[in-house]
Amino acid sequence: MKVSAMLNLAWKNSILRPGRMVLIILSVAAVLAEILVLEGFLAGSYTQLRQTVLRRGGDVMVAQSGVTNFLATRSILPQQARAAVEAIPGVAGTHPLAAIGLIYEAGERRSPIIVMVYDDAGGPFAMAAGKPPAEDGSIAVDHALAEKFGLSTGDTLTLSDFEFSISGITRGESALFTPFAFMNFDTLIDFYFESDVASDIAAFPLLSFLSVDAAPGTDPADLAARITGEVADAQAMLPRDLALNDEEMGRELLGPVLNLLLGLSYGIGAMAIGMFTFAAVRSRRRSLGVMRALGFTARHIATGVVAEAVVTAVAAIPLGILMAVGLAALIERVAPVYLLEVLEPRALLQTAFVAVALAVLGALAPLRMLMRLDPATAFRE
Euclidean distance between CA atoms 367 and 371, whole angstroms: 6
Nearer to other proteins, 212 or 337 (CB): 337
The DSSP H or E segment spanning 162 is strand 162-170
Give just the sign of the alpha carbon dihedral 50, 56, 60, 65: negative
Task: Output the smallest distance, CB 148 to other proteins, in A.
Answer: 8
If the CB atoms of residues 174 and 218 are measured against other proteins, the closer one turns out to be 174
CB neighbour class for 379 (10 Å; exposed up to 12, middle 13-18, buried from 19): exposed
Binding mask 115-154 for other proteins (x = CB under 8 A): ----------------------------------------
Q: How far is the C-alpha of 255 from the C-alpha of 274, rounded, in Å?
A: 28
Query: Binding to other proteins by residue 24, rule CB under 8 A?
Result: yes
From CA 33, how far away is CA 27, in angstroms rounded? 10
Helix spans in the chain (H):
3-16, 18-54, 81-86, 143-149, 185-194, 220-230, 239-283, 285-293, 298-334, 345-363, 367-371
Position among 6, 10, 37, 175 found at the interface with other proteins (CB under 8 A): 37
Q: Which of 33, 223, 316, 363 binds other proteins (CB under 8 A)?
A: 33
Minimum Å gap between C-beta 184 and other proteins is 19
- Residue selected from 153, 165, 195, 377 as contacting other proteins according to rule CB under 8 A: 195
For the CA atoms of 243, 246, 252, 254, the dihedral, rounded to the nearest 10 degrees, stands at -90
| Cα R_g (the chain), whole angstroms | 29
Q: Which is nearer to other proteins, 64 or 187 (CB)?
A: 64
249 binds other proteins (CB under 8 A): yes
Residues 254-313 that bind other proteins (CB under 8 A): 254, 256-257, 260-261, 264-265, 267-268, 271-272, 274-276, 278-279, 282-283
Q: Which is nearer to other proteins, 104 or 182 (CB)?
A: 104
Residues 71-110, one symbol each (x = binds other proteins by CB under 8 A, - = not), give -xxxxx-----------------------xxxx-x--xxx
Q: According to the binding rule CB under 8 A, does residue 210 interact with other proteins?
A: no
- With binding defined as CB under 8 A, does residue 370 bind other proteins? no
| Contact between 232 and other proteins per CB under 8 A | no
Question: Which residues between 310 and 339 bind other proteins (CB under 8 A)?
Answer: 327, 330-331, 334-335, 337-338
Nearest residue to 207 (alpha-carbon basis) of 84, 102, 64, 56: 64
Q: Does 27 bind other proteins (CB under 8 A)?
A: yes
Cα–Cα nearest to 26, from 298, 323, 327: 323
Contact flag: residue 68 with other proteins (CB under 8 A):
yes
16 binds other proteins (CB under 8 A): no
Answer whether 171's CB lies under 8 Å from 128's CB. Answer: yes
